[in-house]
Chains A and B, each alone.
Chain A
Amino acid sequence: MSSQEFASSSRREPEPVPDLPVPAPAQEQTRNVDDLLDEIDSILVTNAESFVQGFVQKGGQ
């Protein structure tokens, strides 16, 4: 590879790295997981067995 291809001149200003979020206290995160599970409860119980067993394909690469 020529040095030209490795040159950095064509690089544009990179996207800034997002700030590390301040982690919510463990208690609050647990509550958020519970809220999520409440929210999707109806999804999880509606015809779940048929959903799970019906997902069959051929293999890929």
Chain B
Amino acid sequence: MIPRRIWGIETEYGLTCAALQGHRPPLDADEAARLLFKPVVAMGRSTNVFLRNGGRLYLDVGSHPEYATAECDQLPDLLAQDRAGAEYLRELTAHANAKLAEDGVDGRLHLFRNNLDAAGNSFGCHENYLVRRRPDFRAMVGSLVPFFVTRQIVTGGGHVRVRSGRVEMGFSQRSGQMWDAMSSATTRSRPMVNTRDEPHADVDRYRRLHVIVGDSNMAEGSTLVKVAATDMLLAMVEAGRNPELEITDPMRAIREISTDITGSVDVEMADGRRMTPVAIQRHHLETIRAFAAANWDVDPWHALALELWDRGLTAVESGDHSLVDTELDWAIKERLVARFEERPGSNIVALQRLLLAYHDITEGGLQERMEAGGLMRRLTTPELVTDAVATPPRTTRALVRGRFVGLAQDLRKDHMVDWVHVKVADPAQRTIMLTDPFAPHDERVEALMESMSIS
């Protein structure tokens, strides 16, 4: 069995209020965000709330609606909780758009799971992995850098750039926005891994690996490989087996790789070798496979991730992108764009509009249409996602938090919650700390909930 680990995904959504007829957005991003969050503020008296599924919804830096999944330790739960966030935001958008229509405003809100706006501002999709605290944390993170630099050739969201009228396909919007391998600052230096020490758990035992180099994904296959491959790499490194590669200039490499869809850029390694991103990824995949064969009984979801990871690399290497063009974002997008360009009357503006539609989670987005048409493979079921909007994962601390929030909401009790605390705003001011993210049950919270129901 691969060691149990807590993961979470935080997605910053791009927001716009698009004019229906006029030229300028009738609401700017701040105003649009405030309108979108009106029901949230009415419910939680704040633009930062925890939901009954254990996740968190808030307005982040730059008026980005952000949804953080609850703690998950099962891959299908993580996929469902992530998509539940999109569902939740989609409903908020529909509500806001009904209001705009009612008021006769010439605009409608759209939310994008992408990583760049029209002015080149970047926002992200951040992954969290709970890791053991160890004295050589920075060295451990350093050993992961070649993996984070190159995994975009499988998990990238696809980046279409128009240069001198020509359309160029690349792997990742996010990669070009990275300025540092690791740092404790995020918006200033924008590192691949944020090393801020904030485990949201017992600080003596854990740290949280906060990875901000990833693209926001639409395809669930891309999200699956992104998290599962990283999880397995961490498990192997924590067991003492290091991938033992070092890239001389990671920031240069990540940029060069992101714009070369052939995956054949020569990357200079610290030992003087030159390796392609495909070779670097294959090295990680094969090292993990060998380690897994000797040490783990791999569950079907991690096995699926390994298989798709492998197939993604073969697709890049062979140039036969049809191997993954219903499963990985960059290949799905590439086919869509190629077909669009062959249409009579297609132009750059319409192409850019199409690309936004690919990432749009509101009405007018392509995801469900593509899934229904067999053009994008869905791994969750609609039932699981509907369930995940209102129900926390059952195997982690999220269950304690989600049930508490649900009860407090039902009873209309003022409460305060964050990742590690729950508190009822009553005269006794009881605060309970939940420092074990693996524990789906807590006697103190049970007692508190019982007393809330009685009083």
Residues on A lying within 8 angstroms of B by beta carbon are 1, 5-8, 10-12, 14-18, 21, 23-24, 26, 29-30, 32-37, 39-40, 43-61
Contact = CB atoms under 8 A, between A and B. Distances in A.
30 contacts: A5-B4, A11-B4, A11-B73, A11-B74, A14-B74, A14-B76, A15-B301, A17-B303, A21-B326, A29-B326, A32-B373, A36-B369, A44-B350, A47-B18, A50-B22, A51-B16, A51-B353, A52-B352, A54-B118, A56-B118, A56-B119, A57-B15, A57-B29, A58-B61, A59-B61, A60-B64, A61-B123, A61-B126, A61-B186, A61-B212
A61 B60 contact: yes
By CB atoms of chain A within 10 A, which of B15, B24, B352 has the most?
Answer: B352
A24 B113 CA distance: 27
B353 A10 contact: no
A56 B117 contact: yes
B304 to A, nearest CB: 5
A1 to B, nearest CB: 5
Contact of A57 (B123, B356, B436): B123
Question: Interface size for chain B: under 10, 10 to 19, 20 to 34, or 35 or more residues?
Answer: 35 or more
B14 A57 contact: yes
Given A51-B356, A56-B121, A59-B62, A39 B369 contact: yes
A60 B12 contact: yes
Contacts of A46: 20
Contacts of A37: 336, 339-340, 343, 354
Interface in B137-151: none
A1 B4 CA distance: 11
Nearest to A61: B186
B205 A1 contact: yes
Contacts of B62: 57-60
B13 to A, nearest CB: 9
Contact of A8 (B1, B16, B63): B1
B61 A55 contact: no
B132 interface: yes
Interface stretch (B243-251, B266-274, B374-382, B401-409): B374-382
Given A55-B14, A57-B16, 16 more contacts: A14-B76, A15-B384, A18-B379, A21-B377, A32-B375, A34-B339, A37-B339, A37-B354, A47-B19, A47-B20, A47-B21, A55-B110, A58-B61, A59-B62, A59-B121, A61-B123
